[in-house]
Amino acid sequence: MIPIRDEIKTHRTPIVNYVLILINVAVFLWTCFFNANPDAVYSEFALFPYKIQQGLDVGDMRDILTSIFLHAGWFHLLGNMLYLWIFGDNIEDRLGHLRYLLFYLAGGVFAAFAHYFTNPSSAIPTVGASGAIAAVLGAYLVIYPQSRIYTFIPIGFFARLTLVPAVVVLTLWFIMQLFSGVGSLGLGDQVGTAYWAHIGGFVFGLLIGLFFKKRGRKPIPAPPSWN
């Protein structure tokens, strides 16, 4: 399934979400096309779990944050930005601009440590916004369980655009990550995807989403706009 957009209207412009997407795209373009040595960028700013195992310092904390804005390729970038575009605006609408930014970054940090604790000796650079975006998905699931997602569903050689409940889309996504994550345990650097970062980020988002849902924080009324 490939989600395209949701049907929940927003009440204010998701400025932070737009900026996050622009930063991710700009960093990727700079790394790949305007930098003489892209590998050096990944070596300097990606997260290496084994370094944390040797002792957490300021440089490691910097790398945890900078790694959130690095991507390994076009498909990695576009897939992440698609999910952020679809789901991030609604979470920003509910939390507010500053809270959303802090939530997004905290989700990325929590996801990074979830990956570290399941593979602490890994020497593979960890990059991508997937953990932070997984937090967005987790929050969306509990805050907007009634939402439906316009989704392309492959049928043979064709694809059909169908409205699918967000609960189905996001629960299936999480189950896939969970099964893959459990299967990756003990495989070390043989696994190229940080499934436990996705799982950790999603759980973090669920918890924060539940907190804000219980508080009943409502978006500021304003003319609605579509994603």
- The pLDDT assigned to 220 comes to 40
Name the residue among 208, 30, 74, 188 with its Cα closest to residue 122. Answer: 188
DSSP label of 150: E
pLDDT classification of 25: cutoffs 50, 70, 90:
very high
Q: What percent of the chain has pLDDT over 70?
A: 90
Whether residue 177 is predicted with pLDDT greater than 60 in this model: the reply is yes
Contact, 34 vs 178, CB < 8 A?
A: no
Say if CB 211 and CB 2 are below 8 A apart: no
| pLDDT exceeds cutoff 70 at 126 | yes
Q: Say whether pLDDT at 84 is over 70.
A: yes
**Which pTM was predicted?**
0.88
The mean per-residue pLDDT over the stretch 132-159 comes to 92
- In a 10 Å sphere around its CB, with 0-12 CB exposed, 13-18 middle and 19+ buried, how is residue 118 labelled? buried
Q: Say if residue 199's pLDDT is above 70.
A: yes
DSSP 52: H
pLDDT for residue 225: 43
Could you say which architecture CATH assigns to the domain 2-215? Up-down Bundle (1.20)
Between 158 and 103, name the one with better pLDDT: 103
H-assigned helices in the chain: 15-33, 38-45, 49-53, 58-67, 74-95, 97-118, 130-143, 166-184, 195-215
pLDDT for 191? 60
170's CB contacts (< 8 A; 6+ apart) are: 137, 138, 140, 141
CA-closest candidate to residue 193, choices 125, 140, 103: 125
Q: Please state, rounded to an integer, the average pLDDT across all residues of the chain.
A: 88
